[in-house]
Structure 1
């Protein structure tokens, strides 16, 4: 599998989706929860909120915020509406994929991805791929 050598991040993840069905399934299972989670984290940090402060503003517990940010929460529309109000945004914006600047993205993808990073993501998503060696063979930094 030396075709992964020098692979950019998006290309590596595309290959992982093809080669490891569990990886692709985990992304599909998370769906919009993953997008909402990333947006909640981004908005919370931009506003200088801790998870505890956001929880207080939202009227929930800090562990609930951790579930939301970890893409493990199934939220009611009411919760999404309250999140949007706290952040001062439209509810629909919580479902939008944020576009990154080209310069930042180019710098990010030019760095090699290490198997340990792939393993961490799999663990975060609860996915246990059959073979890290097969999925990352020939990737720079391995």
Structure 2
């Protein structure tokens, strides 16, 4: 797996685990939402500054985004679409 795919895989996994949409992550990291999507697909060459900004929002060290996933690991599932239901 190339490094762009590794970063994208980890970014999506961490984002989904925390229940963040691409839009919320992008807003907090001060990057464009479509940029986050391209990073997650592995089609964007991320700068170290952007990698650091994304990692800070996710509350992890930037190195966590560079860790190769275990062999046979499944692509993280996307968040369910639409708005979250309001609490009663």
TM over 0.5: yes
Q: Tell me the TM-score normalised to structure 1 length.
A: 0.48
Q: 1:126 matched to which residue of 2?
A: none
- Secondary structure of the residue aligned to 2:31 is coil
What SS does the aligned partner of 1:55 have?
A: helix
Report the counterpart of residue 83 of structure 2 in structure 1.
none
Q: Compare the two structures and name the one with the higher helix fraction.
A: 1
Aligned partner of 2:80 in structure 1 is none
Determine which of 35, 60, 71 is the counterpart of 2:42: 71
> What CA RMSD, in Å, does the superposition of the two structures yield over aligned residues?
1.7
Residue 53 of structure 1 corresponds to 24
How far apart, in 1, do the equivalents of 2:23 and 2:51 lie?
A: 17
How many residues are paired up?
Answer: 73
Larger-Rg structure: 1
* Alignment match, 2:69: 98
Following TM superposition, where does structure 1 have runs of at least 4 consecutive aligned residues deviating by more than 3 angstroms?
Answer: none
Measure the CA separation in 2 of the matches of 1:92 and 1:72: 19
Q: Which residue of structure 2 lines up, in the alignment, with residue 130 of structure 1?
A: none
User: 3-state SS of the aligned residue for 1:53?
Assistant: helix
